[in-house]
Amino acid sequence: MGKAINIIKSRAVPIAIENIDTDQIIPARFLKATTREGFGKNLFRDWRYENDDEQKPKPGFPLNDPKYSGKILIAGENFGCGSSREHAAWAIKDYGFDVVVSSFFADIFKNNALNNFLLPVLVSDAFLRQLFKAVEEDPETLIEVSLEDQYIKIVATGARESFDINHYKKTCLLNGYDDIDYLLNMKEEIEAYEKNHALSYRS
C-alpha cells in the first residue's frame, strides 16, 4: 500500500548529469537485502563517498552539499537507464524524495517509480535547463508540482510547464491505490481469458 501524493512544494536537489543509470543510483552490492527498507542511505553511494567510506563524503556532489535539500530531485536526460532494479526507486523514495524531474526517463524506472508513489515528472529540455539554473543560482528556490493539475512551477517566477501522466496511474497515485489491487479484482476475467486462450501444444 502506498501513500497518496498530490501537491508537492519544496526546494530541490539538482544532479545535472545525463544517462544516470540505476547502478549509480544504487550499486549492485547493496541489493542483497530481502526487505524494501533502508536503501536511502546508499543512494548514489559511489558518487557520494570517497573509496566507499561514509567518513569521506565527496564535497562536490549535490547530496553532500548542505545548500541543497528538498523532496524534489532534478536530473539530466535518460534518468534511470540500465538495470530493472526497483531498489533504485526505493532508495530515492527512502532518502526523502517524492518527485524526480528529468527531460527523459527510462521505461522500467518510470514504472518502478510510479509503483512506489515516486512521481516522475517529464519536462522539456528547455524547462529542465531553466530549473537547473534557478536552483543552482538560488538553492532556496521553491518548486511546486501538482499531480491533480499536472503542472510543475518555479514558485518565485511563476514559470511553469504541464506534464503528461496516464489517467489510470494518476488516479492510483492520488488515491493511494496500486496495480495489484486492481488486478486482484480481475481474477474472474483472467481465468476466463486463460480458458479461451489455452494453446493445445502448451501444457
Region of 21-29, 67-75, 137-145, 151-159 interacting with other proteins (CB under 8 A): 21-29
Kindly give, in sequence order, each residue whose CB lies less than 8 Å from that of residue 14, ignoring residues fewer than 6 positions away.
62, 68, 74, 75, 131, 132, 135, 136
Site for other proteins in 121-150 (CB under 8 A): none
Total binding residues toward other proteins, as defined by CB under 8 A:
60
Q: Which of 6, 78, 130, 150 touches other proteins by CB under 8 A?
A: 78
Other beta carbons within 10 angstroms of residue 45's beta carbon come to 18
Residue 165 binds other proteins, judged by CB under 8 A:
no
Kindly give, in sequence order, each residue whose CB lies less than 8 Å from that of residue 40, ignoring residues fewer than 6 positions away.
91, 92, 93, 94, 95, 96
Amino acid at 156: A
Task: Measure the CA–CA gap between 87 and 28, rounded to whole angstroms.
Answer: 10
Indicate the residue among 27 and 96 with the shorter CB distance to other proteins: 27
Q: Which of 6, 9, 46, 69 touches other proteins by CB under 8 A?
A: 46
CB of 145 to other proteins, least distance (A): 21
Q: Which of 42, 72, 99, 116 touches other proteins by CB under 8 A?
A: 116
